[in-house]
Amino acid sequence: MRFILPLGWIATILAVAPVRFDREKVLRVKPQDEKQANIIKDLAKTNQLDFWYPDATHHVAANMTIDFRVSEKESQFIQSTLDQNKMHYEILIHDLQEEIEKQFDVKEDIPGRHSYAKYNNWDKIVGWTEKMVHKHPEMVSRIKIGTTVEDNPLYVLKIGKRDERRKAIFMDCGIHAREWISPAFCQWFVYQAAKTYGKNKIMTKLLDRMNFYVLPVFNVDGYIWSWTQNRMWRKNRSKNQNSKCIGTDLNRNFNVSWNSFPNTKNPCADIYQGPEPESEKETKAVTDFIRSHLKSIKAYITFHSYSQMLLFPYGYTSKLPRNHENLAKVAKIGTDVLATRYETHYIYGPIASTIYPMSGSSLDWAYNLGIKHTFAFELRDKGKFGFLLPESLIKPTCKETLLAVKFIAKYILKHTS
């Protein structure tokens, strides 16, 4: 007997089938001159290349390391084009789907207990925020600063004593959905702060004298989508007028030199800036919160991946900020301190010259608002796993990063008024 599914059911089944990446590759190319750089740009016009580093075609330049994902169907043509033009390339990932599945390489310790050695989905993170407040009521409180396009809550965890007038640092993770190591670090930071208060000398001193505002997942809708539908999703999930393409890059949506790069105007691009500055509910919630706490917030730190960098302003201009020497000094010592744990090498510098130019970033916006110590971490690794850092590397990444964050916080405590 033939069983025929109603059309509506078929549509639903098709709609919820997660994207698979079987036999998709990630290639690394380093164009030797402008001609070779243009070959990559031309390939991007006719093929679906997902740029991992840098994050868009227009950044591609001679002598730059370029990482991009390519489908199974197109990989043969792209590899033969590179071969014909005598362009050396490396295959970083041979089968992306396989690598996605291999990412979960840590067994759960105790079922039901929150694991800091594993990637946690949004539901687990929400449950964790409740547990942290319940377990440490004197130290941790949860603030709902807004909601997302899909009506998910945006929670900031405040760590420290009740006094609002004390110096504070605002930290956010997960502005780009696929960068899972970033929310993992924010969870680790909150856990370590609460757990080691009264035991670790530096953490105790910090929490006795300052507050931390931590947004564990900035781009909640995108993060959920990266878990349920498309592991490689980057943007948020807002609908775009006159376009079937979904989402805005929240880190191009801040009101700082917004709209100064032409390639951010396409709603189908991964770096789409949105229809106007702060058009996105997530961006607006964060900017409103920071503005309302501006008197106390002395530093802003945002966490991304990947490439092992510690960045500071500016991204939209090659002009250096007034306190450039000071920021460079903090970043240098921060990266040195980070390396003491596992000898992980980070580079540091202004966004525009160290990674690539960009407009509308949270870092530049916070700096221009008056927060004179703003930093962005690009966490592990340097491309072997890219966005698919295995769970077995979560704790080492978090432990070394915590050392750098504690150093920055100590510096803020001592040197800001």
Catalytic sites, residue numbers: 378
Could you give the strand order of the β-sheet that contains 25-29, starting from the edge strand earlier in sequence?
A: 50-53, 66-70, 25-29, 89-93
Tokens of 345: 């090498």
Q: CA dist 39 to 70, 83, 90, 357, Å?
A: 15, 12, 16, 21
Supply the DSSP string of 25-41, one letter for each residue.
Answer: EEEEE--SSHHHHHHHH
Supply the DSSP string of 174-239, one letter for each residue.
Answer: -SSTT-THHHHHHHHHHHHHHHHTTTSHHHHHHHHHEEEEEES-S-HHHHHHHHHT-TT--S---B
Neighbour-count burial for 136-151, b at 16+ CB within 10 Å, e otherwise: beebbbeeebbebbee
The one-letter amino acid at 56: A
For residues 177 and 226, give the distance between their C-alpha atoms in angstroms, rounded to a whole number: 6
State the pairing for strand pair 25-29/89-93.
antiparallel
